[in-house]
Amino acid sequence: MNRLISTFVALLALTPALSFGQAKTEDQARKILDQHKGAIVVVTAKGKLITTTTDKPLPQNEQQRRTLGVTIAANGLVMVSNVAIDASVGLVNQQARMEDKVVTIQTAKTEFTEVEISYGDSTVLTGKVIRQDMEADVAFILPDQVKANAVDKKFDMLDLSKFATDAQPADQVVGLSRSSAIYTYMPTVMVGRITGVFKQDRVFYVTTAGTGQGIVVFNMNGDPIGVTVVRIVDGKPSGVLGTLAAGTIQVMANLALESIPAAE
């Protein structure tokens, strides 16, 4: 009996500590959400799919896609998952039916005709796709600087130079996203874990928080781990998600920024 009582008392002593730890995690997740939610944007991209085939080109029907993006520079540069906006990825060598024929697609490219960026504060700016990396599934969009200046838009940005360098499997992480239009794209937060780290040409984190394209994943200190994209294998979308390391994205972002003409 005395042993049972001692065990019960020990469990009671542990309960406040566990509750405190959980509360601390939740508080930190809310802090990260409040600090970075302004950098999470919604991007709507329209474009025409231009192809060549073994016969006639496919009809140039307008494509419209909507996805999450994250602002990563003071001029408002936005990074998105390329597959989320570009319908041409993976189409080469695929077959398509056109009238009464089956054709093979030889080349495919999306010509973007309109890009809009919604910031969650009633501001909507047009933008332009300035760089794409098909294999990494990354695209960069620059908002119209003249229009941004006209409305005195100050961009909330995520500084990728402060990325996490020691993220490991089992680490607790926080994922930031936005909801669907039904919930007016309100900012959302999810606490999860890193379940694996894949290191080859690029570093990808597999996490239970990066459950959709464009979700930004942080460690519990608020340092960015990466942004969730689709893994591209042999030039085709695999349908499998991975959180691309923030340091890798920053290198590609710098290349995108260097390609911008001085007038922009």
pLDDT in tens, 182-195: 999 999 999 999 99
What is the Cβ-side half-sphere exposure of residue 183, based on CA atoms within 13 angstroms?
8
At 183, which amino acid appears?
A: Y
Distance CA 133, CA 86 (A): 11
The domain segmentation of the chain, as residue ranges, is 39-157, 159-255
- What pLDDT score was predicted for residue 159? 95
The tokens for 255 are 């290349």
Burial string for 164-175 (b: 16+ CB within 10 Å, else e) reads: beebeeebbbbb
- What pLDDT score was predicted for residue 259? 83
For the domain bounded by 159-255, which CATH number is listed?
Answer: 2.40.10.10
Q: Which residues contact 42 (CB under 8 A, 6 or more apart)?
A: 66, 67, 68, 69, 117, 118, 120, 178, 185
Asked if 206 and 217 touch (Cβ cutoff 8 Å), the reply is no
Distance CA 257, CA 79 (A): 12
- Tokens 């990396």 correspond to 133
Select from 38, 60, 226, 77 the least CA-distant residue to 137. 226
- What pLDDT score was predicted for residue 9? 47
Same fold, 39-157 and 159-255: yes
Rg for the chain, CA atoms, rounded: 22
Question: 165 — alpha (psi -120 to 50), left (phi > 0) or beta?
Answer: alpha
- What pLDDT score was predicted for residue 8? 47
- What pLDDT score was predicted for residue 16? 53
* Torsion angles phi and psi, residue 180, rounded to 5: -75, 175
CATH superfamily of 39-157: Trypsin-like serine proteases (2.40.10.10)
The tokens for 175 are 């994922």
Q: Residues of the chain whose pLDDT is less than 50?
A: 4-5, 7-9, 17-18, 20, 263
- Tokens 């509750």 correspond to 19
pLDDT in tens, 200-236: 889 999 999 999 999 999 999 999 999 999 999 999 9
Distance CA 159, CA 136 (A): 20
- What pLDDT score was predicted for residue 263? 47
Question: 170 — alpha (psi -120 to 50), left (phi > 0) or beta?
Answer: left
- What pLDDT score was predicted for residue 213? 96
- Tokens 């896609």 correspond to 65
Distance CA 52, CA 104 (A): 9
Q: Is the pTM of this model over 0.75?
A: yes
Q: Which residues contact 28 (CB under 8 A, 6 or more apart)?
A: 174, 220, 222
Asked if 87 and 47 touch (Cβ cutoff 8 Å), the reply is yes
